[in-house]
């Protein structure tokens, strides 16, 4: 069973959502397609394969305040209030799958969980793959859960699948029509393809070989790939003093591709060589992720490939590694 929304009713839908939520949707800003707050449907970009940046910052904001402190005789600690209720409209299945995987890792973190709990997910299925997409190899093109509503674009209408009680209630509004019809699924497969099975074992087997040097010697540790990755969550906790007696502790994104990441006192750096840092990046995703969370910490969105200034292509590597 589906519900149908006529595309011309999208403005009404956004208005309806805006009553109780901040609506976050794909918009064009400074030349990039990103997720940002919208107040009406005309701001939303409708024709896109995926956004240039994932909506990661709505769950793991770079530089979010963990707590504030004030020193006097005592130390007073204050936590930030509840975040505003949000709905993310137009998120792709790969990015939702990234959130589901992050839940396994960060679910115990209050800071992450409270944002997850306060954010509704209205996902839109892909009908076309981008040139760098490889989600189908990892099975992350499909959504079985993790959404409140899942929309499929069938031309003039969206077919809507319900994923939660909240979503079900919303469908009572008159702009949605219930239907027992089905629609013709557009089947697509990313052009890029590899066998995901045993990727962890392949990485483990090649850990101490020259393959890293061969593929990644051009990497200059700009960290762009981890910034745009919907699954890169590593962080630093940083004190940001405001005055002598008060300040904040903030959580900043941190990338294993940077030298600083493993630096300890005495300027000792455990991963001094660039390729070893790329190896850490990929091993974390495909070897340690599998071991610790039974997941590959990559959803095949291809953003790392699109953003690498020197043309490093992780997917090609995954195709080649044996």
Partner 1 sequence: MKIYTPNIGKIKKTIKETEDTKTFQIELENKILREHFYFDPGEFVLITVFGVGEAPFSISSSPFNKNYFEITARKTGNVTNALFNLKEGDKIGVRGPHGKGYPMDEFEHTNIILISGGCGLAPLKSLIEYVIQKRGCYNKLTLLYGDKTPQNIIYEKEISKWKKIKNFDVHLTVDKGDKKWKGNVGVVTKLINKVKNFENSVVCLCGPPVMMKYSIPELKKKGIEDEDIFVSLERKMQCGLGICCHCNINDVYVCKDGPVFRYLDIKDLSELGW
Give residues in contact with ligand SF4 (CB under 6 A). Answer: 219-225, 228-231, 257, 285, 298-304, 307-310, 312, 314
263, 306, 313, 321: residue in contact with partner 1 (rule CB under 8 A)? 263
List, in order, residues 6 or more apart from 110 with CB less than 8 Å away.
Answer: none
Asked whether the beta carbons of 283 and 203 are under 8 A apart, the reply is: yes
231 binds, among partner 1, ligand FAD, ligand SF4, none (CB under 5 to 8 A by kind): ligand SF4
Q: Does 116 bind partner 1 (CB under 8 A)?
A: no
What whole-number distance in Å separates Cα of residue 134 and Cα of residue 174? Answer: 38
What whole-number distance in Å separates Cα of residue 167 and Cα of residue 149? Answer: 6
Strands (E), 148-279: 149-153, 157-162, 176-179, 235-241, 246-253, 263-264, 268-269
Compare residues 182 and 208 and give the one whose CB is closer to partner 1: 208
Compare residues 176 and 286 and give the one whose CB is closer to ligand SF4: 286
Nearest to 316 by CA among 70, 131, 128: 131
Q: Does 264 bind ligand FAD (CB under 6 A)?
A: yes
Write down the least CB distance from residue 270 to partner 1, Å.
6
Q: Does 202 bind partner 1 (CB under 8 A)?
A: no
For residue 272, what are its two tokens?
Answer: 């001094």
224 binds, among ligand FAD, partner 1, ligand SF4, none (CB under 5 to 8 A by kind): ligand SF4
Strands (E), 72-153: 75-78, 86-91, 119-124, 149-153
Helices (H) and strands (E) in the chain, counts: 12, 14
Chain-centre distance of CA 75, in angstroms?
Answer: 36
Q: Does 239 bind ligand FAD (CB under 6 A)?
A: no
What whole-number distance in Å separates Cα of residue 17 and Cα of residue 23? Answer: 7
Write down the least CB distance from residue 55 to partner 1, Å.
21
CA torsion sign, 108 to 113 to 117 to 123?
negative
Residue 204: count of CB within 10 angstroms of its CB: 15
29 binds, among partner 1, ligand SF4, ligand FAD, none (CB under 5 to 8 A by kind): none
Compare residues 90 and 289 and give the one whose CB is closer to partner 1: 289
256, 275, 298, 312: residue in contact with partner 1 (rule CB under 8 A)? 256
Residues lying near partner 1 in the complex (CB under 8 A): 66-67, 69, 71, 74-75, 77, 79, 105-106, 108-111, 207-208, 234-239, 241, 244-245, 247, 249, 251, 254, 256, 261-266, 270-271, 276, 280, 283-284, 287-288, 291-292
Residues lying near ligand FAD in the complex (CB under 6 A): 264-265
């Amino acid at each position: 069973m589906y519900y149908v929304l006529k595309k011309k009713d999208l403005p009404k839908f956004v208005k309806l959502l805006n009553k109780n939520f901040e609506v976050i949707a794909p918009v064009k800003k400074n030349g990039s397609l990103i997720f940002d707050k919208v107040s009406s449907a005309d701001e939303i970009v409708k024709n896109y394969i995926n956004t240039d940046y994932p909506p990661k910052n709505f769950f793991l904001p770079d530089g979010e305040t963990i707590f504030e402190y004030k020193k006097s005789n005592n130390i007073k600690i204050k936590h930030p209030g509840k975040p505003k209720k949000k709905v993310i409209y137009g998120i792709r299945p790969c990015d939702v799958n990234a959130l589901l995987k992050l839940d396994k890792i960060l679910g115990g973190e209050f800071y992450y969980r409270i944002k997850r709990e306060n954010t509704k997910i209205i996902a839109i299925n892909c009908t076309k793959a981008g040139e760098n997409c490889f989600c189908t190899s990892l099975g992350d093109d499909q959504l079985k859960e993790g959404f409140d509503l899942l929309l499929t674009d069938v031309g003039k209408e969206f077919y809507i699948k319900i994923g939660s009680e909240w979503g079900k209630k919303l469908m009572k509004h008159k702009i949605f029509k219930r239907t027992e019809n089905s629609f013709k699924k557009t089947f697509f497969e990313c052009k890029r393809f590899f066998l995901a099975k045993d990727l962890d074992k392949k990485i483990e087997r090649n850990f101490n070989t020259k393959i890293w040097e061969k593929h990644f010697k051009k990497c200059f540790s700009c960290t762009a790939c981890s910034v745009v990755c919907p699954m890169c969550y590593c962080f630093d906790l940083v004190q940001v003093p405001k005055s002598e007696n008060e300040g904040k502790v903030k959580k900043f994104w941190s990338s294993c591709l940077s030298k600083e990441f493993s630096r300890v006192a005495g300027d000792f750096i455990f991963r001094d060589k660039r390729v070893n840092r790329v190896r850490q990046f990929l091993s974390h995703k495909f070897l340690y992720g599998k071991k610790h969370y039974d997941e590959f910490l990559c959803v095949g969105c291809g953003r790392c490939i699109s953003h690498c200034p020197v043309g490093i292509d992780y997917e090609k590597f995954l195709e080649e590694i044996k």
